[in-house]
Amino acid sequence: MKNPERVVFHEITEKAVKEAIRHPREIDQDLRKAQEARRVLDRLVGYDLSGLIWKKVRYGLSAGRVQSPALRIIMEREREIRAFIPVTYFVITANTETNKKESIELRCSIEPSTKEESDKILKDGKNGKWLVVDIGEESGSRKPRAPFTTSTLQQSASSRFGFAPSRTMKIAQKLYEDGHISYMRTDSTNLGTEAIENIKNVISKKFGLDLIEIRQYKSKIKNAQEAHEAIRPTHPEFDSRGKNDDEAKLYKLIWQRTIASQMKDAIVLKTKILANIEEKTIPNFQANGGRTTFKGWLLADPAAQGEEIELPKVTVGNKLNLLDLKSEEKQTEPPHRYTEAGLIKELEKRGIGRPSTFASILQTIQTRGYVNKENKALIPTDTGDIVSTFLENNFADIISDSFTAQMEEDLDEIANGKKDYTKTLKDFYGPFHKSVKAKDKIDKITNLGEAPADMKCPICGGPMIIKLGRTGKFLSCAKFPDCIGARTIGGVEMTGQKETGEMCPKCEKGKLVEREGRFGKFISCGNYPKCKYIKKDEALELAQHGTGVACPKCKKGQMVEKRGRFGVFYGCSNYPDCKHIIKAKPTGKICGYGRENGPCSALMMEGTKTIGERCSDKTCPNHNPHKLAEENAKNK
């Protein structure tokens, strides 16, 4: 196609689409190169690091340019939690009331670290006469927040509704496709002139002309794509849209945030009461309150107001009746684990990733088994811990904040035409690939350290070591594979493998054991992976799954029904000596289609609803008899 042009619109409305078609633009080759560079870079890093992790940690794991820094951030917080040493402190509260029987709950302004200090405050407080010693009032404003970007929408939906970022993006995609909101992948907080005019009309009709305050917000994110608009309703006159409850909730959230962003500040009156005993031998006790005196933008987003505590009106010197004075012993808490919303905020703050990638990053580290979500908290698994530690020890520069953020800047400069796409990739990949190759020499991580001395092998009584399995860490006999004793990290004996009492007929060294696999129980050599013998009960297999059709390849086995990761298939009973398989059940007939060297001679197999009996050989034209019939009809 010569001189292709691009039609660009950020909302699926009749006006926006027609306007975009009237004003197409040339394809921005710099943007195309930046997108291509990002994709290539992600693959170069992912393929090389994942391949190394397969070799050195465990098959099937992965690493990535952005997912690995995200995992590192979670692990850094987890190590802080593990290293945290709690400190004891005491919270002292006084329940009082005024002469008008209005209750005031006060809290001691200091938190004693010893019981002796706490007891002294309790003793003096209970024996003293209480009164108000100071009052403070301060009027402040609450500004509305900027319209949603991708990340702030994900954060708010997670906090308010418990939506995972991937779920939020799926719902937003539907709202966008149905023409209800503007494009949902953006890091801009801008609103277009036309959108602001429409929002002004809505505010004027719903809340009053005097509540309008037009604002333009500047994104705090470095390299934000300010040319785009924030996420907003395409028709703000409608405060409800969506085909189901989830869509309606998310649309309402977007509508409220957008409308509120162009309204006046809310005014809040904050009050503070200080009280003490007449002798003042104890620290001051304090009560804080607040009430909204002018709602402003909170009229559009009432859920953002929160709970208010209004204190009774008192003056300095007013006496207070002490109803109860109590002390509660507490301990300082470790830092909170990241929630999905919190991690997105942290990634954005550090310049790691793009709005469009946050949801997939979080989904990837969870589906890979690196992180579990429990009560909204992201908790690293043993596998996540080991993979992150391996990468931190060997590729600290690649998964650092500075490298990841710098690479985002480089990609933005490619998009702006300031950097060359090919040179940027070459400058990175040469040293990186050399570094990965150098790590080929390090040993595979099979031993994570010695188990506690009191943890003995349940079979031979010998010492045990910590290993990483598919479901996390476990204890294995140090003599494995000669001894297959195993325990959970908690010390419970693992009985997944039971000896049958038979010797392996293949290697004649290992003992046969019963194992639990993906498709049920099976018996194999205990000397695995040195010996990969698997015992088969051929008589039972033939009786239960046999087809009675002889294998055309080895002429010894029979085609039997098997089940694999992609469903049912049919293979030779003489496996692994014969690995002949076909896709569907054999009919017992042989394909007679004439080929260059004679008849095809492959097994015929059952067809589908639309295709009849056909050849099992994909290279044979008779594999698609319906197409063959069409060709024959044409030739006639």
Question: What tens digit of pLDDT does each residue of 170-186 get?
Answer: 999 999 999 999 999 88
CB proximity list for 593: less than 8 A, separation 6 or greater? 599, 600, 615, 620, 621, 622
pLDDT of residue 496: 60
In degrees rounded to 5, what are phi and psi of residue 574?
Answer: -90, 15
Is 183 designated active site?
yes
Q: What is the pLDDT of residues 323-369, one digit of tens each?
A: 999 999 999 999 999 999 999 999 988 888 888 788 899 999 999 88
Q: Which of 104-113, 164-173, 299-308 is predicted least confidently?
A: 299-308
pLDDT at 542: 65
The string of DSSP codes covering 10-68 is SB--HHHHHHHHHS-EE--HHHHHHHHHHHHHHHHHHHHHHHHHHHHT-TT----TTHH
How big is the chain, counted in residues? 636
pLDDT of residue 52: 92
Spatial CA neighbour of 216 closest among 150, 296, 147, 297: 147
Q: Are 25 and 6 in contact (CB under 8 A)?
A: yes
Phi-psi region of 242 (alpha: psi -120 to 50; beta: other; left: phi over 0): left
- Between 89-103, 563-577, 593-607, the lowest mean confidence (pLDDT) is in 563-577
Classify 499 as helix, strand or coil.
strand
Q: Where are the domains of the chain?
A: 5-76+380-441, 88-143+266-331, 150-260, 464-535, 549-635
Determine contact, residues 223/268, Cβ cutoff 8 Å.
no
DSSP 384-402: HHHHHHHHHHH-TTTTSHH
CATH superfamily entry for domain 88-143+266-331: Topoisomerase I, domain 3 (2.70.20.10)
Cβ(275)–Cβ(282) under 8 Å?
no
As a whole-number percent, the residues of the chain with pLDDT over 90 amount to: 48
Mean pLDDT value across residues 557-563 = 87
- Residue ranges of alpha helices (H) inside 356-476 are 358-367, 382-394, 401-415, 421-438
Residue type for 552, please? P
Q: Return the minimum-mean-pLDDT range out of 69-73, 111-115, 167-171, 454-458.
A: 454-458
User: Could you give the 3-state DSSP secondary structure of residue 529?
Assistant: coil
Please give the Cα distance from 189 to 219 (Å, whole number): 6
DSSP collapsed to 3 states, 246-296:
HHHHHHHHHHHHHHHCCECCEEEEEEEEEEEECCCCCCCEEEEEEEEEECH
CATH superfamily assigned to domain 150-260: Topoisomerase I, domain 4 (1.10.290.10)
Q: Which of 47, 59, 183, 533 is catalytic?
A: 183
Distance between CA atoms of 225 and 345, rounded to whole angstroms?
A: 18
Comparing 97-101, 308-312, 458-462, 626-630, which segment has the lowest mean pLDDT? 626-630
Highest mean pLDDT among 259-268, 308-317, 540-549: 259-268
pLDDT of residue 444: 78
Check if the beta carbon of residue 500 is closer than 8 Å to that of residue 523: yes
Specify the pLDDT at position 63: 92
Whether residue 144 has a cis bond before it, omega within 30° of 0: no
pLDDT band for 591, please (50, 70, 90 cuts).
very high
As a whole number of angstroms, the distance between CA 240 and CA 277 comes to 55
CATH number of 5-76+380-441: 1.10.460.10
Quote the CA–CA distance of 298 and 211 in Å, as a whole number: 11
- Which strands sit side by side in the sheet containing 603-605, from one edge to the other? 586-590, 603-605, 614-615
Residue 609 DSSP symbol: S
What is the model's pTM?
A: 0.69
